[in-house]
A and B are shown apart, each in its own frame.
Chain A
Amino acid sequence: MDRVLKKRIGKIVTWFLTFVLMLIISVPGLWVVLTAFRPNREVLAKPAIWIPQDPGWTNFAKIFGFGAEQIAIPVPAYFANSLIIASTSTVIALLIGMSGGYAFARYRFKFKNKIFLGLMLSRTVPGIALSLPIFIIWSRLGLIDAKLGLIIVYVALNVPFTIWLIDGFFRQIPKEMSEAAQVDGCTRWQAFWHIEFPLAKSGIASAGIFAFLTSWNEYALASNLTRSTDSKTLPVGLMDFTAQFTIDWAGMSAMAVIIIIPALILTFLVQKHLIAGLTFGGVKG
């Protein structure tokens, strides 16, 4: 009797805590999403209006330049910039990361641990600290306010972590797999493409998505290396709203939703592989 009661109380406590946790995680985001569908005057109303009175897509229409009201912020251009910069840098980082990750997973060589540590430490340099010299050098090279400038930086930003993840995924594939293929008549290169790559594919994809999101979300460097619609990305563009005198909360929220949505979808796709990659690469060395 006592035990049963104890168990039941434990269960209730567990569920209650979980509920609170989920509330804390989801309410801020949901509130932003809700705001994105409300007119700004409703957001600013005092006393607060809790239930949306007339929800609609006006904020989104406004941002994308449809509808009656126009705003001065060129979100479609930012969106295109973000997309081009994030995808290009991701593809390049993946190629470099696959090659490097394979080297770490499959070869023994001198200074292996030191090189690995060096790559990781390069990632620790705070974006803002790195942005100062890059700003100076890039302006001499004409890479300021250019997509290429940001792409190069993002590749470097993503390479270490991509290598960490991909190294982990390749390590999960027994070495004998590639050896068997070589005995079966493959060159090492063929063995890689026929055997190891297909087996690591989903892991590599999630490393790619992770890299994409890092670029997609980056702010510290982008805010200092971009100037105009030529290269400004969405996170930088979001700050355009705050620069104005009165903050357009509703419009900003709509833009936030645009930034969030790819992140949500992609996270959903990779979560399983990502955890596996992180833990394997780390724990099994």
Chain B
Amino acid sequence: MTQADVASTANIRPRRRRRRNLTPFLLLSPAILVILFVVLLPLLFSFYTSFTGYRLIKPETLYQWVGFQNYQRIFADKNFWAAFGRTVLFLTIALNLEFLLGLGIALLINRITWGQRALRTMMMFPMMFSPILVGYQFKFIFNDNIGILNNALQALGLSEGAIPWLVDKYLAMFSILFAEIWMSTSVFAILLLAGLFAMPRDPLEAARVDGCNPWQVFRHITLPFLMPFAFIAMTIRSLDVARAYDIVDVMTGGGPAGRTELLWTLIARVGYDNARMGQANAMAYISILLSIAFTYYFFTKLIAARKYMGGAD
């Protein structure tokens, strides 16, 4: 090895090292580009339009700057706040019930030894259904005239007339929640069941030897171990809570008379049916912030729970 060789290798080194550091970014660039083009760019654009009086039918209004007028208007709009409140309430009830039911189902299936695999597979089906199908299915079942539910209630003599499941304010909300929970509980059940399977036996036995009763064992050993799994489920769920739009759109279309209007159906109505894009975008922004807040909250919870489970960096 001559001096020149040593010098030339010394020259190569920095170049190679730089390329190595770039590799992960190179690998990630398609993903990042797609997201930039399909999500970030449109969001920036919609952020801009939320400050204009843009109407679909009048293209020139895209440049009509109105400042915070759209936001002022929706903040003063009772319908908007009603939809907003309904959405938050809807999400809170749905996510909590899904968690509790999912936990119950996971514990139940965990106790069953015979046919457990088949049960697990069945559990996953609702999760894979198109929300639009779930909506249709329950629109059919809750139909006041020919729905199986009313037919069955009448046949059994439990109810005289037709119960207006999808028309009454509270019943309609209940029906939609039912559909939503039917569709999404399995996300929790499946992941919590995976958690139960992964649970080491020693701490359970140690706790029993230490004199815990079954409830205490569950409360102090099982539940804390399951929480990271619950947070994964929460995170996954919060990624697509807006799927509820599909269900509502099919089942009630936000009606009757706006009684089941959620933020998302309201956005669609204002944006497409009334063609007031600027205002719809302002609402959309609020719905986005809501979703991000939900996801971010669960994601940080997940990271925290993961740390204490001894996860990686």
A adjacent to B, CB under 8 Å: yes
- State in angstroms the CA–CA spacing of A115 and B124 once bound together: 30
Q: Does any Cβ of A come within 8 Å of B23's Cβ? A: yes
Which of the listed residues A126, A160, A220, A276 has the most CB atoms from chain B within 10 Å of its own CB? Answer: A126
A107 and B24 contact, CB distance less than 8 A? yes
Min distance, Cβ B251 to any Cβ of chain A, angstroms: 10
Q: Which of B37, B119, B155, B277 contacts A132 (CB 8 A)?
A: B277
Tell me how many residue pairs across A and B have CB atoms closer than 8 Å: 283
Q: Does any Cβ of B come within 8 Å of A197's Cβ? A: no
A128 and B130 contact, CB distance less than 8 A? no
- State in angstroms the CA–CA spacing of A43 and B145 once bound together: 11
Min distance, Cβ B286 to any Cβ of chain A, angstroms: 9
A128 and B146 contact, CB distance less than 8 A? no
Q: Which of B31, B241, B264 contacts A159 (CB 8 A)?
A: B31
A18 and B112 contact, CB distance less than 8 A? yes
A99 and B30 contact, CB distance less than 8 A? yes
Chain B 93-122 per-residue mask, 1 if CB under 8 angstroms from chain A, else 0: 000000000000100110110000001111
Chain B 133-168 per-residue mask, 1 if CB under 8 angstroms from chain A, else 0: 100111011000110100100110000000000000
**Partner-binding segment picked from B3-11, B38-46, B215-223:** B38-46
A256 and B245 contact, CB distance less than 8 A? no
Given contacts A125-B291, A132-B284, A136-B277, contact A268 B250 (CB under 8 A): no
- State in angstroms the CA–CA spacing of A153 and B42 once bound together: 11
- State in angstroms the CA–CA spacing of A259 and B137 once bound together: 12
Q: Does any Cβ of A come within 8 Å of B89's Cβ? A: no
**Partner-binding segment picked from A23-31, A53-61, A73-81:** A23-31
Q: Which residues of A contact B294 (CB under 8 A)?
A: 124
Given contacts A126-B291, A271-B120, contact A216 B130 (CB under 8 A): yes
Q: Does any Cβ of A come within 8 Å of B239's Cβ? A: yes
Given contacts A107-B24, A128-B245, A283-B228, contact A217 B129 (CB under 8 A): yes
B245 and A220 contact, CB distance less than 8 A? yes
Q: Does any Cβ of B come within 8 Å of A180's Cβ? A: no
B31 and A132 contact, CB distance less than 8 A? no
Nearest chain-B residue to A140 (Cβ)?
B59
B129 and A263 contact, CB distance less than 8 A? yes
Q: Which residues of A contact B140 (CB under 8 A)?
A: 31-32, 35, 249, 252-253
Q: Which residues of B contact A31 (CB under 8 A)?
A: 137, 140-141, 148
**Partner-binding segment picked from B66-74, B78-86, B265-273:** B265-273
Q: Which of B32, B56, B132 contacts A115 (CB 8 A)?
A: B32
B281 and A263 contact, CB distance less than 8 A? no
A133 and B281 contact, CB distance less than 8 A? yes
Q: Which of B27, B32, B311 contacts A102 (CB 8 A)?
A: B27
B38 and A155 contact, CB distance less than 8 A? yes
